[in-house]
Amino acid sequence: MQTTLGKSGLQASAVGMGCWAIGGPFDWAQPGQAAWAAGWGKVDDVESVNAIHAGLDAGVNFFDTAANYGAGHSEVILGQALAGKRDSAVIATKFGHIVNEDAKFIYADDSKALNNIRGDIENSLRRLNTDYVDIYQFHLGTYEPSLALDIRGALEDLVAAGKIRWYGWSTDSLERARIFADGEHCTSIQFSLNALTDNAGIRKLCTDFDLVGINKDPLNQGVLTGKFSTESTFAKDDIRARKDFKQDRFAKPLKTVEALREVLTSAGRTMAQGALAYIWALDDRMIPIPGFRTVEQVKDNAGAMQFGPLTPEELTQVQAIAAEGAE
């Protein structure tokens, strides 16, 4: 299964690989505030490279990363894995945060985003070991809308310089997405979408402006795999450690996911495969980017392409169950 990445015409696998988790541990350390873990725990870099290769072997060619994932480490590992294979891959990365590669921390400073763009792209190109990025995405999702056209203009300059081919914005805000949408080389909006969370406004925007929707969190931080219970816990260096599944707001989605199990696993799918199939059934402009840390996870996610989307009837079932669970 393949999809066209909006008006770029780039051809990508219908499922991508989200590379946040392979960045390893790092902290969000906003000046003047207590630091907190922003990664997904310890990783094995060899396994990460093998997992990327397994994805390529399974027909996956779309890789989504960011400068801040692992404070640059995710980009480094992706670059290593794609050495000699760059022409087989579509790379989407993100910019906008302050990144300290050595101390492994990042933070946001909106006031520096515009002036840092040229330095940010050079750092990403160095880490990725490439001379261009296919899709360069603004990563400050709540950036002041009145200033966003300046960011868009700087991105058009990077296109003209040959540093990037296309660009987009990673934001869940329809107002902000709209500012980028009609940019000449804007081809995507990245936003949260899964069987428990929709954003119909941005999905419509993608249709109206011939953009692709890159779906972060398609498995709801793993909840839609059906592997978690109220007893599940995470290591301190895992961003999910702040979740207490005994609390109602975290336990409630677990009950909904259990109610979804039968329909998501139809036709022999795993839960994760069913969750990806739901997104394809909902909107054929969407490309989900599930995270991964192992070869096994990548093979499972890529295997969803063999089944294709849920049927219209199954889509309706999922929506009804999710709506009931949200009440």
Domains and their CATH numbers in the chain: 2-326 (3.20.20.100)
> Looking at the predicted structure, is the pLDDT value of residue 327 above 80?
no
Please give the pLDDT value at position 250.
84
Q: Is 136 exposed, middle or buried (0-12, 13-18, 19+ CB in 10 A)?
A: buried
> Looking at the predicted structure, is the pLDDT value of residue 297 above 80?
yes
Distance CA 189, CA 212 (A): 7
| DSSP-assigned letters across all residues of 212-243 | EEEEE-TTTTTGGGT---TT----TTBGGGG-
**Which residues neighbour 285 within 8 Å (Cβ) at sequence distance 6 or greater?**
3, 6, 203, 206, 207, 211, 212, 213
Rg (CA), the chain: 19
Please give the pLDDT value at position 266.
92
| SS3 category, 71 | helix
> Looking at the predicted structure, is the pLDDT value of residue 112 above 80?
yes
Looking at this protein, which amino acid is placed at residue 327?
E
* CA dihedral over 303, 308, 309, 314, signed as positive or negative: negative
pLDDT in tens, 125-166: 999 999 999 999 999 999 999 999 999 999 999 999 999 999
pLDDT in tens, 255-277: 999 999 999 999 999 999 999 99
pTM: 0.96
pLDDT in tens, 62-73: 999 999 999 999
Distance CA 239, CA 243 (A): 9
Distance CA 284, CA 210 (A): 12
| Mean pLDDT for all residues in the chain | 96
pLDDT in tens, 5-63: 999 999 999 999 999 999 999 999 999 999 999 999 999 999 999 999 999 999 999 99
113: pLDDT confidence band, cut at 50, 70 and 90?
A: very high
